[in-house]
Structure 1
């Protein structure tokens, strides 16, 4: 084992000592630069596209919104309106896709929302002045999660349920235009949505029903923002 040599500032002893240490390392002989794709006819190494990774986040379910169903009722302003919600988006829990594809969640939502409305509105629910509806169907028209929940709420609270009050002529959530399809007879309309993100759907329903003198109460299962 080599013993460390004292540093001689005049003769560059330190540099000489480092040179002697490096001489103990062997480097494989190569006539091409490191990383040269032409080496030995090998195919070029693939280049990692960091932008493609960002694009994949739109459909990557590992980054999808989740909810752990911790009961956290809240009144929230969004898109110029206020809405009530029972649960909040969370970092851990079931994804929204898992929730909406599980039939058991329909009853879970319906029971929780019904109990919440009974506590919030009290005896006025049985006055005949209230009804419930959903926002317009866009992507899931045959098995619409919000509509299935509202049918069960209707059964529990015995208030009218209007399934297709409004029609949306596009699948876009932002700046969507709604037209009236069926006007409820009751003066007070509960507009239910399974989850609310931007609030644009609620705003569209508010503007539509306000023209016909209806009072609106917006209720969401999940507030889809932390």
Structure 2
């Protein structure tokens, strides 16, 4: 249900994957008026999806309906811990934190960073790439993303004390993603019969971790003139 396969994989991130001003409340669908599928609610929607799957499977779990519900609920109760562990591990890798650092430390650092990114409405993809430079002692680029950089500087001191691996960060944090405004440009051109913009975009995002000269525009957020981005059910 709702863009999630039976194996648990998300099959349609949509524009939420490419937020340029980080905000967990971001909603892109024109029909999601209550923010049910906001970026920050994706984990809860995943759990809801699995509950619907469990309901469908109840007759196959146990002939006794009450027993089937109990078993299903026991299975679903593991979701939150599993999700949080996966999220923490994903953030550990993005931040280049060594594997031997305590998970609680990683989780606290990651949670604090998410708050900073939300307050600063920072470009998510660009931030992590610039953060790798900070691990090399060149913090200026990441520093400039914040209107008030002092809270970030304090956070960065805690992070740098853990000895982050800049090369590992570069291997996991892309330079280029199919940003919405560039995708729209490619679609408009293709509709008019020109496939070159699409081919160029495809070539760039096929090697997203390797920075290349002449591809700077693919690493930049959309201009202000692009405006709020909205999609429609079925896109």
| TM superposition score normalised by structure 2 | 0.20
- Computing the radius of gyration over CA atoms, which structure comes out larger, 1 or 2? 1
From the two aligned structures, give the one with the greater strand fraction: 1
Q: TM-score, normalised by structure 1?
A: 0.20
Higher relative CO (Cα under 8 Å, sequence separation at least 6) belongs to: 2
